[in-house]
A and B are shown apart, each in its own frame.
Chain A
Amino acid sequence: MQLSDDVLLDMHHRMVRIRHFEEAAGRLAEESRLPGFLHLYVGEEAVAAGVCAALTDDDQISSTHRGHGHLVAKGGDFERMMAELMGKSTGYCKGKGGSMHICDLDLGMLGANGIVGGGVPIAVGAGFANKYRDDGRVSVVFFGDGASNIGAFHEAANMAAALQLPVVFVCENNEYGEFTPRDRTMAITDVVDRAAGYGMPGVIVDGMDVVAVHEAAAEAVDRARSGQGPSFLEAKTYRFYNHHGIQTLGMKYRSDEELAEWKKRDPIDLFEARLAESGVLTAKDAEAVHERVAGEVEQAIAFAEESPLPEVESLYEDVYSGVAQ
């Protein structure tokens, strides 16, 4: 698959946006300038960027508790995101959702989800609606290796395959479910082995290589859009920060050596090296992208910090939708 320079630069931009937003969010949390939990996506950028670059604006995604990267990759607005993380009224969910419930239906982002595996049936439900309406949309569900042990995943995967729904399952296998290594909770290593059990094709991709992810995602999205049913991608990846992304929180559960090995395959470094080699983006131009994005993040932080908290009177607003009185 020969990708245009525009697509390559777009994927790079998405990855850099995720990295800077997440690094800043982690820093703010450690400085106690940001309330609540957050789970950083740093290290896994190639997955969200490679997949979302294969989607149209109308396509949908559902996400996880580690969901900032997915929303950024789908085009999320830094200011509304940062405000939401800070619980401010200018945030995506008016400050009531926070990190783990951030969403933007206009962008097709159906929501991060604090319940492990919770996003899977949501995307499959969207897939059912899309097929029913015959609107040509595709829904993608991002989930982790741990989520594939949850009952909701199995029911949703079965339904998607049985009804041949236009859904792409993207498993971000980062080897740990929260603090527990994968081999303590699963007798299999490749989550993709489960795809055949439901009757859908599945592939493993290098989750640190955005082009590899994009190639597989583009094929899976094409299959879904052309009525050939769901597909399953398992991206082998790794989170560079601990489960929460806050270094002072939680326990040590991975060796420094293991982390160092994975960091040698930083997806942004690998991609920038290749872009420079192929003449698509020089190191200087890449640096300019980083600087510009870093500035946008700082602007978003200032916007969020200056924004007001929600009024107490709004506590019950937007809790239920369309309930008849």
Chain B
Amino acid sequence: MTATVGVIANPIAGKDIRRLVSFASPVSDMAKIGIIRRAVVGAVEGGAQRLLITDDRRALGMRAIDNLSLDAEVVFLDAPPYDSGMNSQNAAAAFQEEGVGAVIVLGGDGTHRDVVKGWRNAPLMAVSTGTNNVFPRQVEATIAGQAAGVVASREPPIHEVADQAKVIDVELDDGEAEQALVDLALVDESFTGSRAVWTGQRLREMVAAIAERATVGLSCIASRVAPTTRHQAGGVHVTFGDGERFRIPIAPGLYSEVEISSWRRLHLNESVEISGPGVLSFDGERDLVLPRGRSALVTVSHDGPWVIDIEKAMSLECGEAR
């Protein structure tokens, strides 16, 4: 089978309101183009023979490969005329059908969530270009791309080179299903608006699958009471109200006070019901209005995407340490 690597780059990652309300840095198109360029060069170096790249209104992918002489076939996927998370979701679904061996995702937590909505068990090379990134790590795109190329071309058993991630499944009472990768929160708001959550004062309830202390954002809140790594089974359920107070970095350079009234650890596949009114925030982005009387069943499972470990993948290329 032709060794195929998919590339999904979110053009709007790193440009939201947190550049105004916190000290988050902007991520320009030129920065993203550079990252894509380095990733695809690395992927071909790692053995990719075919690259599937999401197109977008910014033509980031096309501009990234401009003037590159790549020893690989390059195919672009169409995109809608406006920015939408559906773009990443549809691309991921198409990649699955095309038998892509590894997907390089350039974005933040929200972008990775969209990808997983399209292909739940995708083999992901998660590269951070967003704002509060917990799921993707800060890695150099060149070597991330090469690791993806190695995985796609050598086709090792995925569990040998990747760790399966947790997923927060959200089942709405109207039958709709949603997912988050890091945290799911109920926020005291009526609109999704500018999407970001940048104050702890309006939080009502949250479930975190990843609650690591070295993070910024909602995930960090849960880490103060029940640290839970991405590799650990289960999650944490937190309710806010009168109780213990913490100051947490809710966005880059921005601290906010939160008051936790109760918390408990969630076993794997244990469900908790969250009821409206409010807005559900998925991985730090307000995305769904939950009116009064409506509820959602929230479950942390461990059957999500496979996150490629660069060290393990590159050991196939370079050999084990001597």
Contact = CB atoms under 8 A, between A and B. Distances in A.
Interface of A: 1-3, 175, 183, 188-190, 192-193, 195-196, 201-206, 209, 211-212, 214-216, 219-220, 223, 231, 236, 238, 258, 261-262, 265, 274, 277-278
B191 A203 contact: no
12 contacts: A1-B189, A190-B15, A193-B28, A193-B29, A201-B19, A202-B15, A206-B194, A212-B192, A214-B193, A231-B20, A261-B82, A265-B82
A172 to B, nearest CB: 14
Nearest to B191: A211
A258 B289 CA distance: 28
A134 B237 CA distance: 49
Give the contact-size bracket for chain B: 20 to 34
B15 to A, nearest CB: 4
B58 A274 contact: no
B84 to A, nearest CB: 10
Q: Which of B21, B58, B189 has the most CB of A within 10 A?
A: B21
Contact of B20 (A190, A216, A238): A216
Q: Which of B16, B190, B192 has the most CB of A within 10 A?
A: B190
A236 B189 CA distance: 23
Q: Which of A201, A262, A265 has the most CB of B within 10 A?
A: A201
Given A2-B188, A202-B15, A274-B191, 9 more contacts: A2-B202, A190-B29, A193-B26, A212-B192, A212-B193, A215-B194, A216-B20, A219-B20, A261-B82
A12 to B, nearest CB: 13
A241 to B, nearest CB: 17
B309 to A, nearest CB: 33
Nearest first, the 7 A-B pairs at minimum CB distance are A189-B58, A211-B193, A211-B191, A215-B194, A204-B15, A193-B28, A212-B194
Contact of B289 (A2, A204, A277): A277
A189 B15 contact: no
B57 interface: yes
Nearest to B201: A2
B17 A216 contact: yes
Nearest to B22: A201
Interface string B1-29: 00000000001100111111100001011
**A contact face: mostly helix, strand, loop, or mixed:** mixed
B83 interface: yes
Given A189-B29, A202-B26, A274-B191, A223 B81 contact: no
A60 to B, nearest CB: 21
Contacts of A188: 28-30, 58
Given A189-B57, A202-B26, A215 B289 contact: no
Contact of A262 (B12, B16, B30, B81): B81
Nearest to B58: A189
Contact of A196 (B28, B59, B83): B28
A309 B40 CA distance: 66
Contacts of B21: 219
Contacts of B82: 236, 238, 261-262, 265
A191 to B, nearest CB: 11
Contacts of A204: 12, 15-16
B202 A223 contact: no
Contacts of B156: none
